[in-house]
Chain A
Amino acid sequence: EDKVVQSPLSLVVHEGDTVTLNCSYEVTNFRSLLWYKQEKKAPTFLFMLTSSGIEKKSGRLSSILDKKELSSILNITATQTGDSAIYLCAVEAGWAGNNRKLIWGLGTSLAVNP
């Protein structure tokens, strides 16, 4: 059965700390891995990763995929209270057409204290 596991499930840090969130997967025919940030309601898209070893960066956030280890990390440097959210990882898997699907992890709940 396809699965996506995120760790840790929750994390509390102080402003200015650097955090690393993990996402590992076991799926049939991996296609891409996506990171989302969910604050109050709607998850918002952060990154999509398809190639191993290529870092994607947006401001203080960065992410990289390791297809050999079947995992990805999301780094947040110099954290701010506005980074407090649930970070979701989703993996697109399956064959062409109707068999493609997104499998979601449970998320990592990050709390950044001032």
Chain B
Amino acid sequence: DAGVTQSPTHLIKTRGQQVTLRCSPKSGHDTVSWYQQALGQGPQFIFQYYEEEERQRGNFPDRFSGHQFPNYSSELNVNALLLGDSALYLCASSLWGPEQYFGPGTRLTVT
């Protein structure tokens, strides 16, 4: 049973560029949440997708957008990248309740 998978593992982008990160949830899970984790910080909630719709959103600008596909996989898009967007981006899936299963993350570096 595959757990949560994310791609790519690492990514280097230049300021102003756009990036797309991908996530496949754990088998049987229908809800996907995205988090940004800066070094030395706890995860910061970006948004959550359920039934292909954004169900909740954290305090992130509109440059951060997402999508969920019918197979429950999800994408996180970030436009007009800033240096401050450099972080570990974690995807977590769940079925119901608060317990979430995390993927290995994508390390994004913006130069």
Residues of A within 8 A of B (CB): 31-32, 34, 36, 41-45, 48, 88, 90, 92, 98, 100-102, 104-107
Contact = CB atoms under 8 A, between A and B. Distances in A.
A101 B100 contact: no
B73 to A, nearest CB: 17
Of all A-B residue pairs in the complex, the 4 with the closest CB atoms, nearest first, are A92-B98, A42-B102, A104-B42, A41-B105
B101 interface: yes
A42 B105 contact: yes
A66 to B, nearest CB: 19
Interface string B29-68: 0000100000011111100000000011000000000000
Interface of B: 4, 33, 40-45, 55-56, 88, 90, 97-105
Contacts of A106: 40-42
Given A42-B104, A48-B98, A106-B40, 14 more contacts: A34-B98, A36-B102, A42-B90, A43-B90, A43-B102, A48-B99, A88-B42, A90-B98, A98-B56, A100-B98, A101-B56, A102-B45, A102-B98, A104-B43
Contact of B98 (A32, A41, A88, A105): A32
Given A43-B43, A104-B43, A104-B45, A31 B98 contact: yes
Contacts, number: 48
7 contacts: A32-B98, A36-B102, A42-B102, A42-B105, A43-B90, A44-B102, A102-B100
Given A98-B55, A107-B42, A45 B105 contact: no
Contacts of A98: 55-56
Nearest to A105: B42
Contacts of A32: 97-98
Contacts of A104: 42-45
